[in-house]
Amino acid sequence: MNNPILRHLPDNPVYNQAVSWILKFGYSLTEPIKLRFHRLSASDQSNLICPKISIITPTYNRAQILRDRAIPSVLGQTYSNFEFIIVDDGSTDETRNVIESAGDPRIKYHRTSRSRFRYPNKAVYHWFAGPVVALNAGLSLVTGDWIARIDDDDEWTPDHLECLLKFATSSDFEFVSSDLLMVEDGVERIVTPFSDPLDTTGIGATQTWLYRSYLKSFKYNINCWRKSYFRVNDTDLQQRFYLSGVRIGYLSKVTAVIKPRPSEQHIGSRAYLKNSEHYESFYSQKSE
């Protein structure tokens, strides 16, 4: 950790715990109030036949994966009233060309900078907090009535948006998610939140999320890596949604698929830990 910038991001258990508790206290005070205010000021959607969905994808130097997975999954949806916000987090590859070559006016390209480090350069921290800056930039660009997220290496079933929107609106939920199909080591299994005794939120994987756009004021937490639990950016956010009293629903239907990236065998944190040197090198590159 010779980079002087990183010395301002202490990876000390006591310091990290203090920062985490301060943030938790702040969220517990402000976010329930935000939710009540948004509910009072939100427009009535009961007469909307085809509400607009804002889809956010953060990406960094994964042009081929983006082209082969996320983009065709989104553009192949049976529900077509959406904007597709792709936030390029300072890529140096062909990401922009891939996005522009898709030729769909619903795609909105936005670029952020990686001119400084955001947390210590550890592989698992990149898993925890890597997309946070790009995701928050994407939230600031949302113009739709609902928000969905798909990462560059994820895939949706063709009816993903249609099914989740119908489920959410029919029961007046503010936030819904669904089953996820995980393909790893040649084995398929369905992932739900109910198999995890530590998860009391009843919220599925981030690839299956659909929620009201007024919840965009709940930002992703760049300090999630400091926590001792719910340390991944999406699990941190879902816990805050739950504790704030968001109306949450769960659809027992597979609407998304995750599988290892090309040349890898594992998914998520396992992939990062198995290839720690690669990821620490990959994310240490900075762009203006």
Reported pTM: 0.93
Q: Residue 97 in contact with residue 71, Cβ under 8 Å?
A: no
The domain segmentation of the chain, as residue ranges, is: 10-284
pLDDT of residue 33: 97
Residue 7, pLDDT > 50, answer: no
Closest among 151, 152, 175 to 165, alpha carbons compared:
175
pLDDT of residue 114: 83
pLDDT digits (tens, 9 = 90+) for 17-71: 999 999 999 999 999 999 999 999 887 776 678 999 999 999 999 999 999 999 9
Q: Alpha carbon of 116 to those of 4, 86, 122, 143, 282: distances in Å?
A: 11, 21, 15, 29, 14
What does the alpha-carbon distance between residue 173 and residue 251 come to, in Å, rounded to a whole number? 11
* pLDDT level of residue 269 (50, 70, 90 thresholds): confident
CATH fold of 10-284 = Spore Coat Polysaccharide Biosynthesis Protein SpsA; Chain A (3.90.550)
195: Cα within 13 Å, side-chain hemisphere:
8
pLDDT digits (tens, 9 = 90+) for 202-219: 999 999 999 999 999 999
What does the alpha-carbon distance between residue 88 and residue 108 come to, in Å, rounded to a whole number? 11
What does the alpha-carbon distance between residue 58 and residue 173 come to, in Å, rounded to a whole number? 25
